[in-house]
Chains A and B, each alone.
Chain A
């Protein structure tokens, strides 16, 4: 069995009164791994510890078998696509990559050749001569990923790479991330606060909440944990009495109530997937008009509250 590329044992980091990570334990194996958690969960703190930008107060962290704190040689094996927005807008994409390449000791023709290669991989060849300030959000993410790929790192760290992108750019970025592992052999750790986005990238997921890894492993196991808990679904529209009555016949419906504020019904279900599969047919059969249907528990906060028993 292969060794973990990252191993954290009782890792804690606090900033004054604020806890970033709290006795955090996690092993990350080669491949693509998703780190999922709501904002403030500790994802960026974890990335900063991995890249040696901060030092743990307590615990051990090994990245590719090495302690990352004050270990600049380790950075030749790591590529970080950070979550910050402040790229040098006055530079062209090519100038930016030359700067990043210089920081990784690359110069001259080998650097130019590598810039051509990575810009092709990320699909930015035609935009390299344009100033970054004119790039779309998706293009900015691509040029950051290109920068993190320049020195051909063993491990790629992508901090919220899909954040703020439109659906098309998001799909293209997901395809790119998958190809970076499949075709170019990079191990990848990608953070996000949207579980279903990470599901489309990988089956290996670690859920972080309030500085702790609350669940790790295959997505199906984690889904199983989540699905053990009833979900609250709001249905808004007209003539919902009939629908409410019909729903009570299903064994996965825990309760049905009227939601005054939303002028609709609130349904508590134990198997949300089955409910969402059956709902369209049921609505058509009854003939009620639905204006909106959504889960109150789609946000990660709710999911994590379940997992930590809150």
Chain B
């Protein structure tokens, strides 16, 4: 099939999968997380806190660096695996669409969906906290920066978790290990060791954009270098995923 035909097929996957992801049963999990965030940040706003510093820290620790990899893992680790399990992936595999385009179609639909979910959660937390404490230009700046960081996080984490869902029948276990042990623990250690975690590079980019809270004083790599590392990780996992998907058998 030619490039145009493959792009038409890829667009069909993106339209279908994005809708499927956003309106799946997992939306309940998104709602529960949003309620939890609203509760925590809304309650904190009633206490004696520094508006910009503590508001930034809450969004930083709670949303970006705790829920971000977990949400990406739950969505990206399951879409292809679920379709393999219920055999509905047959429809894609028996179409004349090149498997490279099919895999990228899944990836893009995941990035769009996870970005939307993350921006909704960030927005709920932002309104719950800053809605009570006051929204001004600085607060909006923090909000927009965090939204962009959430999209960057969606791009990189999706490439990782989508790939691991191919060889592993239970990608959730690996995902939990990765999210809590690798990103959560190893990524929080001081010094060079934290550079092995993706979140280090997302925070490094954030530290160049946000001038409040702990992230502003983070022991960061440069923004340009962090972008390059994130791009490299994304491309590597996407490439390996494509190569694996092309030769994978679906018994």
Interface residues of A (CB under 8 A from B): 15, 20, 45, 48, 51-55, 70, 72-76, 78, 80, 82, 84, 86-88, 90, 98-107, 147
CA distance A72 to B9 in the complex (A): 13
Interface residues of B (CB under 8 A from A): 1, 4-6, 8-9, 11-13, 15-16, 20, 23, 86-88, 90-99, 246-247, 249-251
CA distance A194 to B195 in the complex (A): 62
By a CB distance below 8 angstroms, the chain B residues around A86 are: 86-88
Known A-B contacts A53-B250, A55-B249, A105-B9; the reply to A100 vs B91 at CB < 8 A is yes
**Which A residue sits closest to B16, measured CB to CB?**
A99
By a CB distance below 8 angstroms, the chain B residues around A87 are: 88
Q: Is the CB of A104 within 8 A of B251?
A: no
CA distance A96 to B251 in the complex (A): 24
**Which A residue sits closest to B246, measured CB to CB?**
A70
By a CB distance below 8 angstroms, the chain A residues around B87 are: 82, 84, 86
Known A-B contacts A53-B94, A90-B23; the reply to A72 vs B99 at CB < 8 A is yes
Q: Which of B94, B246, B249 contacts A78 (CB 8 A)?
A: B94
Dominant secondary structure of chain B at its interface with chain A: helix
Known A-B contacts A70-B246, A88-B88; the reply to A104 vs B94 at CB < 8 A is no
Known A-B contacts A73-B1, A88-B20; the reply to A103 vs B92 at CB < 8 A is yes
9 closest pairs, A vs B, by CB?
A102-B12, A103-B95, A105-B5, A84-B87, A86-B86, A75-B96, A54-B249, A53-B250, A80-B94
Q: Is the CB of B97 within 8 A of A103?
A: yes
**Which A residue sits closest to B6, measured CB to CB?**
A105
Shortest distance between the CB of B224 and any CB in chain A (Å): 39
What are 10 sample pairs from A and B whose C-beta atoms fall under 8 A apart? A53-B93, A73-B96, A75-B96, A80-B90, A82-B91, A84-B86, A102-B12, A103-B9, A104-B9, A105-B6
By a CB distance below 8 angstroms, the chain B residues around A48 are: 250-251
**Which B residue sits closest to A50, measured CB to CB?**
B94
By a CB distance below 8 angstroms, the chain B residues around A82 are: 87, 90-91, 94
Q: Is the CB of A104 within 8 A of B249?
A: no
- List 13 additional contacts besides A45-B251, A103-B97; criterion CB under 8 Å: A15-B251, A20-B251, A51-B93, A53-B90, A53-B94, A53-B251, A72-B95, A72-B96, A86-B88, A87-B88, A90-B23, A103-B95, A105-B4
Q: Is the CB of A76 within 8 A of B96?
A: yes
Q: Is the CB of A103 within 8 A of B251?
A: no
Known A-B contacts A72-B1, A86-B87, A103-B97; the reply to A53 vs B249 at CB < 8 A is yes
Q: Is the CB of B251 within 8 A of A54?
A: yes
By a CB distance below 8 angstroms, the chain B residues around A53 are: 90, 93-94, 249-251
CA distance A63 to B176 in the complex (A): 44
By a CB distance below 8 angstroms, the chain A residues around B9 are: 102-105
By a CB distance below 8 angstroms, the chain B residues around A45 are: 251
**Which A residue sits closest to B13, measured CB to CB?**
A103
**Which B residue sits closest to A103, measured CB to CB?**
B95
Known A-B contacts A82-B90, A84-B90, A102-B12; the reply to A72 vs B251 at CB < 8 A is no
Shortest distance between the CB of B4 and any CB in chain A (Å): 8
CA distance A290 to B249 in the complex (A): 53
Known A-B contacts A48-B250, A102-B12; the reply to A84 vs B95 at CB < 8 A is no
Q: Is the CB of A102 within 8 A of B8?
A: yes
Shortest distance between the CB of A51 and any CB in chain B (Å): 5
By a CB distance below 8 angstroms, the chain B residues around A105 are: 1, 4-6, 8-9, 96
Shortest distance between the CB of B176 and any CB in chain A (Å): 26
Shortest distance between the CB of B23 and any CB in chain A (Å): 7
Q: Which of A15, A55, A75, A88 contacts B95 (CB 8 A)?
A: A75
Q: Which of A52, A75, A84, A99 contacts B12 (CB 8 A)?
A: A99
Q: Is the CB of B88 within 8 A of A84?
A: yes
**Which A residue sits closest to B83, measured CB to CB?**
A86
By a CB distance below 8 angstroms, the chain B residues around A100 are: 91, 95
By a CB distance below 8 angstroms, the chain B residues around A102 are: 8-9, 11-12, 15-16
**Which A residue sits closest to B86, measured CB to CB?**
A86
By a CB distance below 8 angstroms, the chain B residues around A73 are: 1, 96
Q: Is the CB of B86 within 8 A of A51?
A: no
Which of B13, B88, B91 counts the most A-chain CB atoms under 10 A from its CB? B91
Shortest distance between the CB of A154 and any CB in chain B (Å): 13
Known A-B contacts A88-B20, A102-B11, A105-B1; the reply to A72 vs B86 at CB < 8 A is no
